[in-house]
Chains A and B, each alone.
Chain A
Amino acid sequence: MSVRDRILDGCDLETFIVCGGVEEGKRLGLRLMAELGFQDADVVFCEKGGPGVRIRLRGYVYRPSAEYRWDKEEPEDHEV
């Protein structure tokens, strides 16, 4: 089981991207999420300030009513 399957629902990534504006920031942010392997990604928040954007990106791993990890594999002991 990949660590990604342990994510309950979504994975947020917050960072500052050096860029010219909000649209470029969003485009770069979504490209970053794609590079990280998140297929169901979105920009939650993006604000220009100084040399770039403060951006929060979200990759949904499981949306409600999806096929969850607990429905496709034998449950594992929780380590936490």
Chain B
Amino acid sequence: MKCKSDFPNSRPERKKIVLAPLDPVHDVGLKLIRRKLVERGHEVTLLPPDLSPEEVVARAKALEPDFLMVSRAISYGTSELLAKFVDLCDASGLRERTKIAAGGLSMRPEMAQELGFDAGFGPDTPPEAAVAYVEGREAQAVECERPMSKVDLTAGFSYEFRDKEIGDLCLRIARQLVNWAQDKTSPGVERARLRLDMEEARAAGDEKAASEIREKYAGLCGGEVERWYRTGEPVAHTRLLSDREIEEISRLKEGGHSGDYPRSQDILARYNVFIQYGTGCPVMDAYHINLSLAFGARGVIHFDPSWGARTEGLLEGAWSHQHDGTVLTLDNLRLIKNALLPGTMWQVRAHRGLNTPETVILAHLAGADLTKINIVYGSLGAGTDPARLAVDGIESMRLAARFGLPYDVVTNEELCGVPAKKAFAGMLIVATAGVLLGGRPILQPLFANSPEAIIAGLTEDNFIDFNAAKMEVLREIIDAPIWPGAPVGFLTQSQDRCQSSTMTALHAALALKIGAQAVTIASSDEAYAGGPITAPARVDTLKTTAAALRFFGSAGISPSRKAKDIAQELRQGILDVLKAVAERGDFVASLYEGLLGDKEDGAYPGRAGRDTVKVK
């Protein structure tokens, strides 16, 4: 990140400047301007606060400056005071040799000019602009750029187990899982292979081959998706994008808005803050992405409709959807990619349903940087049959490794009520399998007020200890990247915009300050279910997250001693769960039998895709 606010190298003509606060106390802005002016070699006199306008004019007249710059922070009576000040300057003859300017928190440039000042500076004006004015230069535009390069969230991690006891168990179970899946396939796995072949045929211009593959692909689809392949009848609540809508995305990219970045958000360039998009409409998504990046988001995550996870097969073409979630197709993804900046990290989530391997392929073909793969949450909390998702998940991780796509492994089953010890055990097993398959998984603990935390009173006093303990225990177990989500602060946000944004920001700041590689944040609409997320709601949480990070700075956040106790208890719990799964000797059976979350916890083995796993 760089700001184009550097001063020119040449020494300016020395000017005499008087600075005066028209307030009872000093405006820090004037002191900042004084420092900058002195650094540039100018002669500066800063008058004390609480002088009357008459006194300021009299003192300035005696000093005979080139410039008299006054500031006003208090808004009450500003225009009357400044009007009187200008009259006094005129009457005293001061303006015959002195230019007068006004600035400060209560100032607007147009107001200063209306009142007769030679120049006016608003509250957002950088001190460099005042210095440029004195030196007779045009103030250089203070343009802040967003990062131009992406970050590899997995760089520098060895994936070695620091906790050998837990590591040995994870390896034993993960090897069993990978071996179990080796001779199995599913419609999801088959379709992924067909999709890759089909797109390769299309890229090679072999439409005949593509058409034949498409026919086979359609035979492996189900429900409304199969109907669309057979008859062309759209899936409910979807319609094809118009040419104008498609053009709008290009226009947005070319429209010149990408340089308008609020300076207040520059701090987010130092962190990896992701937002989730999926309004249903790729054009609306492009707008939401564009403004989120302007307000400092480093990455964006594609959310598809919930029916996409429960229906066999993915559509083709550019579709708009009237409800939450943007339809997952290669065309939609390629359109949305147009809205990204060069340094934007882009995640296409694949994790929980019947199209997981194919989604990894689409993510790769569309140029995504990350994907999301999970077996346990999808099986126990998102309605997919455990055996099916185990086969598809293993294939997905194999594909992600082949394409060099890192992926997070979520623990969203905690939201169903599954305790963290079980969710973490599941996450560690899946991540270990991913590493065995050559991949680069990222651990994704929930940073939330989970049902377990509420019932056990773990967040009764604060929201720091439980979440910090999760990070600590994971770091003690394995050297792997951690990306809390998704989104952080879940179940702490309300429909109150201020409360919701604050909770999100504090959870994000906590995660980033205690060493997370990235965070995913919600909008301030997170707890509002009455309609789609709006653009200002997205900005709300990016603004508060930037403010929270600015507030904590390098001072950090310290958990209480209770966090250590929670971490120890969590480690023991994870160990016990892993022992039980290892003893069972069958990871998939463990999912069905509730070792990683049972009905009492709120976890139910899913039914979508049941009995679709076949031996090759």
Q: Which residues of A does B touch, CB under 8 Å?
A: 8-10, 12, 14, 42-45, 47, 56, 58, 60, 62-65, 68, 70-71, 75, 78, 80
Contacts and interface: CB of A to CB of B under 8 A. Distances in A.
24 contacts: A8-B534, A9-B279, A9-B532, A9-B534, A10-B534, A42-B531, A43-B530, A44-B495, A44-B497, A44-B525, A44-B528, A45-B528, A56-B495, A56-B497, A63-B531, A64-B323, A64-B532, A68-B245, A70-B244, A70-B251, A71-B242, A71-B245, A78-B256, A80-B260
B257 A80 contact: yes
Given A68-B245, A70-B244, A60 B531 contact: yes
A12 B238 CA distance: 27
B496 A47 contact: yes
B534 A65 contact: no
Contacts of B284: 8-9, 62, 64
Contacts of B281: 64-65
A68 B251 CA distance: 15
A10 B531 contact: yes
Contacts, number: 77
B194 to A, nearest CB: 29
Interface of B: 237-239, 242, 244-245, 248, 251, 255-257, 260, 279-281, 283-284, 287, 320-323, 494-497, 525, 528, 530-532, 534-536
Contacts of A75: 248, 251
Nearest to B237: A65
Contacts of A68: 245, 248, 283
B255 A58 contact: no
Contacts of A62: 284
Contacts of A45: 494-497, 528
Nearest to A8: B535
A12 B239 contact: no
Nearest to A56: B497
Given A64-B323, A70-B245, 14 more contacts: A9-B534, A44-B495, A44-B528, A44-B530, A45-B495, A45-B496, A56-B496, A56-B497, A63-B322, A65-B321, A65-B322, A68-B245, A71-B244, A78-B257
A43 B438 CA distance: 50
Contacts of A14: 497
B257 A58 contact: no
Query: Which of A9, A64, A75 has the most chain B CB atoms closer than 10 A to its own CB?
Result: A64
B297 to A, nearest CB: 16
Contact of B322 (A44, A64, A71): A64
B257 A8 contact: no
A59 to B, nearest CB: 10
